[in-house]
Amino acid sequence: MSKTDEALTIVEVQGLPPAVVVADAMVKSAAITLIALEVNTLGALTIKASGNAAAVTAAHDAGEATARQLDALVGATVIPRYSSCAYTMWIACKPSISGLLKSRNHIIPAVGLVPVDDRAMGMLETRGFAGAVAALDAMLKSADVGLLAKEKIGQTRVSVLVTGDVSAVTASLAAGAVAAERVGTLASTHVIPHPDPVIQALFTRPQGQ
């Protein structure tokens, strides 16, 4: 069975905000290709990345260490030369929407689109929709931030993402966390002061989408 020439790393992380933080650490640590963040029904995301063996190993180590620091690691592995057949079946990703949840199955970096913002990125995740709605309202009213994206993760989690300067994003998340806990369950909040352009491209979509 033929093999791909590149190495592959898989890092599985619980929750979207921790997964994005981990992916950011990975792409900043080495010259790798971020393939996608694949969502599963239990609220975990699988970060898939490829490149030469040295780069993939460095990115894997950075990702695994970051996920452990966040207490969000589900599992991680490096495969030096991955089966091309298995790559096609399990790793290669195309944009797709869950018919039941109406959410993205694969969060893939946009190609050929300018990222919407190069400022800080703030992420808040709740268990349940009501908490996310209340949180987003509080976040947008409490500080000068802009809405970047909303993502449904698995069967119960909802994440909202905002951009702005670091102090505004931090204040926004604090207000959102209080609001979320009043009506639901807060899962996590995270700030990335300077997200990598590849990370920004995960949430950059063509107009009208």
Say whether pLDDT at 15 is over 80.
yes
User: Which stretches does DSSP call E strand in the chain?
Assistant: 7-14, 33-39, 44-51, 73-79, 106-107, 120-127, 146-153, 157-164, 185-192
Q: What percent of the chain has pLDDT over 90?
A: 68
CA 203 to chain centre: 9
24's tokens: 């950011």
Apex 104 CA angle, 31 and 22, nearest 5 = 35
- First-residue to last-residue Cα distance in the chain: 39
CATH code: domain 7-107 is 3.30.70.1710
Q: Residues 52, 75: contact at Cβ < 8 Å?
A: no
Say whether pLDDT at 9 is over 80.
yes
Model confidence over 186-196: pLDDT tens digits? 999 999 999 99
What residues have CB less than 8 Å from 101, skipping those under 6 apart? 152, 154, 155
Q: What is the pTM of this model?
A: 0.89
The CA dihedral of 141, 143, 148, 151, to the nearest 10 degrees, is: -60
The mean pLDDT of the chain is: 88
Average pLDDT over every residue of 62-85? 92
Average pLDDT over every residue of 202-206? 75
User: 42 falls in which pLDDT band (50, 70, 90)?
Assistant: confident
Average pLDDT over every residue of 8-35? 97
Q: In this predicted structure, which of 25-34, 80-89, 160-169 has the lowest mean pLDDT?
A: 80-89
CA distance 59 to 7: 11
Say whether pLDDT at 199 is over 70.
yes
pLDDT at 4: 67
All CATH 3.30.70.1710 domain ranges of the chain, comma separated, are 7-107, 120-193
Angle of helix 129-142 relative to helix 166-183, nearest 10 degrees, comes to 140
pLDDT at 6: 86
pLDDT at 34: 95
pLDDT at 90: 64
Say whether pLDDT at 3 is over 90.
no
Model confidence over 85-141: pLDDT tens digits? 666 666 666 655 554 445 677 788 877 655 555 799 999 999 999 999 999 999 999
Please check whether the domain covering 120-193 is classified as CATH 3.30.70.1710.
yes
Angle of helix 53-69 relative to helix 16-29, nearest 10 degrees, comes to 140
